Amino acid sequence: MIVAFSVAPGGTGNTDGSVHDAVAAAVKIVRESGLPNRTSSMFTEIEGEWDEVMDVVKRATEAVGAYGSRVSLVLKADIRPGHTGELDGKIERLERAIDEL
């Protein structure tokens, strides 16, 4: 499965609205998991089996919780049993389709 998620603290007291330290703590957990992943400006994607992916999301969410009084989590999952390597595979197929247009 691939999970795209965004996690951010609320109630931080930061007047500038910055949450980069909290997001960095979450992304560090994702990267240290050893699972295929990528982070963009809005979401982090992670690929693996259900239990291992959800464990990483949970730990990343808990890490962000240390930075505020509440946590916002947005999660989207693509659950496709029997398929691996889709984090890159989906992009490769999309790029080929664009090139063929």
pLDDT, tens only, 26-81: 999 999 999 999 999 999 999 999 999 999 999 999 999 999 889 999 999 999 99
Phi, psi of 91 (to 5 degrees): -70, -40
Q: How many CB atoms lie within 10 A of CB 42?
A: 8
Give residue limits of the domains in the chain. Answer: 2-100
User: Per CATH, is 2-100 categorized as 3.40.140.10?
Assistant: no
Residue 10: is its pLDDT beyond 90?
no
Within 8 A by CB and 6+ apart from 2, the residues are 45, 46, 47, 77, 78, 86, 87, 90
C-alpha distances in Å from residue 93, one per residue of 1, 3, 5, 90: 17, 19, 22, 5
